[in-house]
């Protein structure tokens, strides 16, 4: 429980003169929800992209589940269990919610999206797809084309798609973005029970959500970890209050 599943060691990433990550160092304990917070432009999304493998780091290392994954591709990281949430825009709008989840399960089994027509017809994928839709509260919408889902339901489906890949650790960059209060509460209630099974690194700007969900918080300022601690420790940290909470 106390061993780190993810170790971020001195990661840097420059865009021209801007160091979006600047020696970023922190670690995430297995089975926890670890929040990454910080002002706009602090480098939260950059860090997530470096951890998922979408962005290649200039220097530094990433260790995941005992392996150095620094040079690994997005796919290789995902196959070993380190996975960021899907963007609904990359999904299949003309397919139903259940078909999309079936495709995600199939992709986890090593098939490419070229076989998606097969995924649609493969009846062995139906039961697991239904189970996952139930886990995210979308059972009643299994047969809906995803274009007809409300915004909050599309975000629930994004979560279903990522659960279909059986991750050990999820990278979530503002999963509640654009949601109303009730949708965002619902998303919180979906994420909370996943903890334990799935370690989560959560970027979130709503402090109510962060303080309600996170076990540990890292405060990012100018690409560096200013502080890491429990919600109580972070709330009480004078440097954090000055630099971020605006005091």
Regarding 46 and contact with ligand ADP (CB under 6 A), the answer is yes
In the list ligand ADP, Mg ion, none, the entry touching 42 (Cβ below 5 to 8 angstroms by class) is ligand ADP
- Asked if 45 interacts with Mg ion (CB under 5 A), we say yes
Which region, judged by CB under 6 A, interacts with ligand ADP, from 2-10, 36-44, 102-110, 129-137? 36-44
Contact 222, 22 (CB under 8 A): yes
Exposed, middle or buried by CB within 10 Å (0-12, 13-18, 19+), for 45?
A: middle
> Of 24 and 129, which CB lies nearer to ligand ADP in the complex structure?
24
Residue 54, interface with Mg ion (CB under 5 A)?
no
- Site for ligand ADP (CB under 6 A): which residue of 12, 25, 45, 165? 45
Does 175 bind ligand ADP (CB under 6 A)? Our answer is no
SS3 breakdown of the chain: % helix, strand, coil, rounded to 5? 40, 25, 30
Closest CA to 123 of 144, 102, 140: 102
Per CB under 6 A, the list member of 5, 28, 37, 42 interacting with ligand ADP is 42
Query: What span, in angstroms and rounded, lies between the C-alpha atoms of 125 and 22?
Result: 44
Region of 73 please: left (phi>0), alpha (psi -120 to 50) or beta: beta
Secondary structure E strands in the chain: 4-15, 18-29, 33-37, 59-64, 67-68, 82-84, 169-173, 199-203, 216-221, 224-229
Here's the x/- map for ligand ADP, 15-34, by CB under 6 A: it reads as: x--x-x--------------
DSSP line for 58-75 = SEEEEEETTEE-TT--HH
Closest CB to Mg ion among 177 and 239? Answer: 177
Indicate the DSSP class of residue 113: G
Which residue stretch of 14-22, 39-47, 98-106, 186-194 sits at the interface with Mg ion (rule: CB under 5 A)? 39-47
Partner from Mg ion, ligand ADP, none binding residue 154, C-beta < 5-8 Å depending on class? none
**Of the ranges 41-49, 89-97, 126-134, 192-200, which one interacts with ligand ADP (CB under 6 A)?**
41-49
Report the interface residues with Mg ion, using CB under 5 A.
Answer: 44-45
Report the interface residues with ligand ADP, using CB under 6 A.
Answer: 15, 18, 20, 38, 40-46
């Amino acid at each position: 429980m106390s061993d780190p599943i993810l170790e971020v060691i001195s990661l840097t990433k420059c865009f021209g003169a801007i160091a979006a990550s600047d020696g970023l160092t922190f670690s995430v304990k297995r089975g926890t929800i670890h929040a990454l917070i910080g002002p706009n432009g602090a480098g939260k999304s950059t860090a997530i992209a470096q951890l998922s493998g979408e962005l290649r780091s200039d220097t530094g290392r990433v260790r995941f589940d005992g392996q150095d994954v620094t040079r690994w591709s997005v796919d290789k990281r995902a196959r070993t269990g380190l996975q960021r949430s899907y963007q609904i825009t990359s999904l299949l709008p003309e397919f139903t919610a259940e078909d999309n989840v079936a495709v995600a399960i199939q992709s986890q089994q090593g098939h490419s999206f070229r076989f998606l027509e097969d995924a649609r017809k493969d009846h062995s994928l139906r039961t697991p797809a239904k189970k996952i839709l139930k886990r995210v509260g979308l059972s009643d919408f299994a047969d809906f084309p995803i274009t007809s889902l409300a915004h909050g339901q599309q975000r629930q489906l994004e979560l279903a798609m990522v659960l279909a890949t059986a991750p050990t650790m999820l990278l979530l960059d503002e999963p509640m973005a654009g949601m109303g209060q009730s949708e965002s509460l619902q998303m919180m209630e979906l994420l909370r029970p996943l903890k334990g099974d799935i370690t989560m690194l959560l970027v979130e700007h709503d402090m109510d959500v962060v303080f309600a969900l996170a076990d540990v918080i890292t405060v990012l300022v100018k690409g560096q970890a200013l502080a890491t601690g429990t919600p109580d420790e972070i709330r009480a940290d004078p440097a954090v209050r000055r630099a971020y909470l605006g005091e």
